[in-house]
Structure 1
Amino acid sequence: MAASSSSASNPKNGLAFESFFEGWLVRQEHYLDELQSVLGKHEDSKDDEYLKELSARVFNHYQEYYDEKSRMSNHNVFLLFNPPWFTPFERSFFWIAGFKPDLAFKVAAAAAADLTAEQKEMIEKLKIEVKVAVKELNDELARVQESVAAHELMTVGGKAPSGDEMGEINSVLDELQAELVTVISNADVLRTRTAERVAAVLNPVQSVKFLAAVTEMQVRVRTIGLEKEARKR
């Protein structure tokens, strides 16, 4: 897929996001250190209010990423489907330009092994809701991608399109680009809300364990990806 507008193809947009992302990763590692430090304390010394405040700060940190990503998508949504700031190994975990929402359930199950029967039941219900939402977004993405492919064929082979035809093609592609922005936005909302709703089921200590495990997983996946790329070079 290729963007039709000059702003969408401007490489500076990607470079600006990559610069933001590098700083965001540094802050992410600082949060991981704080989460792990808190978990290292004796159970009786943990302050529930502080744990809640820390969890809120971590969620706000992730929201900063999605806010910046949203701005990036309005400049070049196509780049988000093959983002150069992620390694191929990281992208192997992706679903619609980001980590799969159901990873939250797997991480929670591993990080908070002391879930009560009621907590497990609530998470199972949430799994069903997320599965339905994922299918709906998959169907919507497939529809948009088919439309993009069909209209790109209009510019390949045969007689070159006239000025009016080219204007119509660009108009259609701009519309499809807007639809892709919406699909990614909805996928990101699903990702964040799934994590937030999982954390809401957990108690303060479990929530911090969950967020520490999520953050550690992402840091670890990135480290492995960078190591793989270094070996290739």
Structure 2
Amino acid sequence: MLLILPEFERGQTNAIVASDSSDRSKDKTDQKTLRRLAQNREAARKSRLRKKAYVQQLESSRLKLTQLEQELQRARQQGIFISSSGDQSHSMSGNGALAFDVEYARWLEEHNRQINELRAAVNSHAGDTELRTIVDNVTAHFDDIFRLKGIAAKADVFHILSGMWKTPAERCFLWIGGFRSSELLKLLANQLEPLTEQQFMGFHNLQQSSQQAEDALSQGMEALQQSLAETLANGSPGPSGSSGNVANYMGQMAMAMGKLGTLEGFVRQADNLRQQTLQQMHRILTTRQSARALLAINDYFSRLRALSSLWLARPRE
């Protein structure tokens, strides 16, 4: 028997069904909103943690720099001194590496200030005279770091060669205590276009001559390492404690020390090459091209330092 509901009751039934459907739809919407709010809260929490970690890293760096400056001050009071001007005589002992690290941090801070000034001048289309003055200042500032490295190498050449004053990513590309001029020129070539034919040839010849000089220095370093290894390995065995064995050992160490003394010369030659390459590059380029080249060099090393920070802050599982 078919039951027929009155029109009023059918309307109520339809309304209840529609209400249930609306409630379910509303529940789904509320759940999505809650999930989105939860995701936003989690993202905000992670952002706060990253910010906190970054602030802690900055504070740690500040404390480390303060500690280094205090150590340098104590070293200076003891007569261990690095002068920032003039061709004065310098004496450094075991704290030479520490003193250099502090001086390098100061050099880098001033370098960043000059680069910001140069970038602002380029972006504001400053005149050639103003731009040339800033470019000359930045170039002269590079001369300062080469001079400081030469002083530090006299105190601790291994510190300069190891690049421990640099970030990990920078050390990955280190060559005899610094950057390879030829590689830097390769990076710049594509960023300085358009070059005139004369500029292109000058840049190409500079890159080739830098490469040849680097190869010669690299071969010299390899020969030194081989010679040093042979000197240390060719000691004549003898009775332990005998006068002949001691004399042989001391003679062997004296020869090895003499060979190590040439390391400072390699660092000096490598830095001279870097310095001359920068000077030659500026002679080839116009003022504005030189400004762009200095900015490109700075950006490259800034990215290496940023890469080091990201690498050191990576999650470790």
Question: Which TM-score applies when normalising by structure 2?
Answer: 0.64
Alpha carbon RMSD of aligned pairs, Å? 2.6
**Distance change (3 Å), C-alpha of 1:20 and 1:133:** same
Question: Is the aligned partner of 1:21 residue 2:112?
Answer: no
Aligned 8 A contact 1:104 1:198 in 2:
no
Distance 2:296 2:235 in 1: 47
Unmatched segments (≥5 aa) in structure 1:
1-9
Question: Where in structure 2 are the equivalents of 1:57-136 lying within 5 Å?
Answer: 57-136=137-216
Per-residue CA distance 1:140-160 (angstroms, 9 max, x = gap):
111111122223336799747
1:172 to 223, 241, 255: 255
Give yes or no for contact 2:169–2:304 (8 Å, CA) kept in 1: yes
Corresponding residue for residue 220 of structure 1: 303
Question: Aligned equivalents of 1:193 and 1:27: distance in 2?
Answer: 22
For residue 208 of structure 1, the aligned residue among 287, 291, 295 is 291
8 A contact 2:236–2:248 mirrored in 1:
no
Letter in 2 for 1:130: S
Q: Work out whether residues 77 and 177 of structure 1, in 8 Å CA contact, stay in contact via their aligned partners in 2.
A: no
1-structure distance, mates of 2:234, 2:181: 36
1:56 paired to 2:136:
yes
Task: Indicate how the Cα distance of structure 1 residues 119 and 232 shifts in structure 2: closer, same or farther if over 3 A, else same.
Answer: same
CA–CA distance in 1 between the matches of 2:218 and 2:172? Answer: 17
More deviation in 113-122 or 221-230? 221-230
Mapped contact 2:153–2:160 kept (Cα < 8 A): yes
| Higher RCO, Cα 8 Å, sep 6+ | 1
Equivalence for 2:116: 33
Which whole-Å deviations, capped at 9, do the CAs of 1:160-197 have from their partners, x for residues lacking one?
78553344234323322221111111111111111211
Give the % identical residues: 24
Q: Are 1:108 and 1:198, in contact at CA under 8 Å, matched by a contact in 2?
A: no
The residue type equivalent to 2:207 in the other structure is: K
- Residue aligned with 2:109, SS: helix
- Match of 2:277? 194
Contact 1:87–1:222 at 8 Å: present in 2 too? yes
Q: Could you give the per-residue CA deviations for residues 106-148 of structure 1, whole angstroms, max 9, x where no partner exists?
A: 2432331121111101111222212221111111111111122
Gap regions ≥5 residues in structure 2:
1-92
In the comparison of the two structures, how many residue pairs are matched? 223
Q: Which has the larger radius of gyration?
A: 2
TM-score by length of 1: 0.85
Moved beyond 6 Å, runs of 4+: 155-158
Contact kept in structure 2, 1:112 and 1:209, CA below 8 Å: yes
